[in-house]
Copies of this chain bind each other. A is one copy, B any other.
């Protein structure tokens, strides 16, 4: 059974993006934290996106700008297997990306039963809420960034019932980020 992990930067008021989709607050340059992110992502895995996050990522990582700004991550993420869930997209141009149009929980359950690398959801708030509700998420990895936005999009909007979690580990960084790992409780 493949594991499904959610990885996201979140503000102290619980948002993974501003109302307008801005995530620049999450980029807190710090060698220790950058090394951690690269190491944490090294395992690879299949990246899972909703449409909004996919389009944002696909508009940046394949570009020359990304190859200059973030050569290591750009090379890896472009080569990595990716899955995007969308009912409105008709095709995807980012390399190694599969477009899935079926029911999210059914498709993810099928993927989890197949052999292969683990699945990692980045961003994609609507997906996270639905996958959390369907109890398909095995681990939540949240980077608590020391900023408050006042408004934004939560990862768990519309979750129909409370989700109890169990803290697995925590790590504090010099730039003030706190990395928290959780599994669903009991």
Contact = CB atoms under 8 A, between A and B. Distances in A.
Contact of A185 (B146, B158, B160): B146
A161 B170 contact: no
A14 B147 CA distance: 12
Contacts of A94: none
Contacts of A166: 146, 176
A49 interface: no
A116 to B, nearest CB: 28
A66 B89 CA distance: 57
Kindly state the interface size class of chain A when it binds its partner.
35 or more
Interface stretch (A32-40, A103-111, A148-156): A148-156
Interface string A135-171: 0000010101011111100111111111111110010
Interface of A: 10-15, 25, 129, 132, 140, 142, 144, 146-151, 154-167, 170, 172, 176-178, 180, 182, 185
24 contacts: A12-B180, A13-B14, A13-B155, A14-B154, A144-B144, A146-B167, A147-B164, A148-B159, A148-B163, A149-B159, A149-B162, A150-B157, A150-B161, A150-B162, A151-B157, A151-B158, A165-B176, A166-B176, A167-B172, A167-B176, A170-B170, A170-B178, A176-B182, A178-B180
